[in-house]
Amino acid sequence: MPSVVGLLEQRELGARRRVDELREEADRIQAELTVAEREWEEWAIARSRVGEVLAPADESGQDQVPAGQAAPPAEGQPGKTPQAPEAAKPKSQVPMWREGLDWSALSVDYQRILQLGADRARLGQGPVTCQEMAAAFGMDVVPARVEALRSKAKRLVARGWLAEPAPGRFTPARGVASPGGGS
């Protein structure tokens, strides 16, 4: 009759092999997921770029305002108040981050993304995904909204405001402080 310790060692060895197999499979799946996310992101960027190129332009060469957005008033004329006060300006610029640059240099949408990342970092909750951003901002978590947020987050990464420690996960870049918190 086998000893109890021997039986336990056999079971432990079997469980350890299973854990090793599952870890290998998880690593393989994580690698495939990373490649798939990168490909998805590239297609979303391509679609966005083509949309920018194909956007209609008026005779002066200026891009027309997309349907559903208020056109800027002509100089010297009163304008209409936009329906969504927190809506970003069309094609708003994101300056390169530098020491002492305040968040007010960014549009409200970009400030909201930074604020969410800063809040999560302050609370020790780690980087934020674009799906979590959409949910936190009260948006429908649908591909169009998520991709729009991803585009903005990637732009903030490229300009030094955010860091992307893992694909699709965003946190404030080193040195970027909350508004009023200095830099």
DSSP letters, 30-51, are HHHHHHHHHHHHHHHHHHHHHH
* Domain covering 103-172: architecture: Orthogonal Bundle (1.10)
pLDDT at res. 82? 39
For residue range 47-89, what is the model confidence (pLDDT) as tens digits? 888 888 887 654 444 444 444 444 444 444 444 443 433 444 4
pLDDT at res. 152? 92
Task: Name residues whose C-beta falls within 8 Å of residue 86's C-beta, 6 or more positions apart in sequence.
Answer: 108, 109, 112
pLDDT at res. 178? 63
What is the spatial distance between Cα 162 and Cα 118, in angstroms, rounded to a whole number?
10
What is the spatial distance between Cα 177 and Cα 169, in angstroms, rounded to a whole number?
18
pLDDT at res. 50? 85
Instruction: Tell me the whole-structure pTM to 2 decimals.
Output: 0.48
pLDDT at res. 74? 43
pLDDT at res. 34? 85
3-state secondary structure of 90: coil
Those residues of the chain that have pLDDT short of 50 are 58-90, 181-183
pLDDT at res. 36? 87
pLDDT at res. 19? 93
Burial class of 153 by CB neighbour count within 10 A (0 to 12, 13 to 18, 19+): buried
pLDDT at res. 57? 58
Which residue is listed with tokens 């980087």? 127
Domain boundaries, the chain: 1-53, 103-172
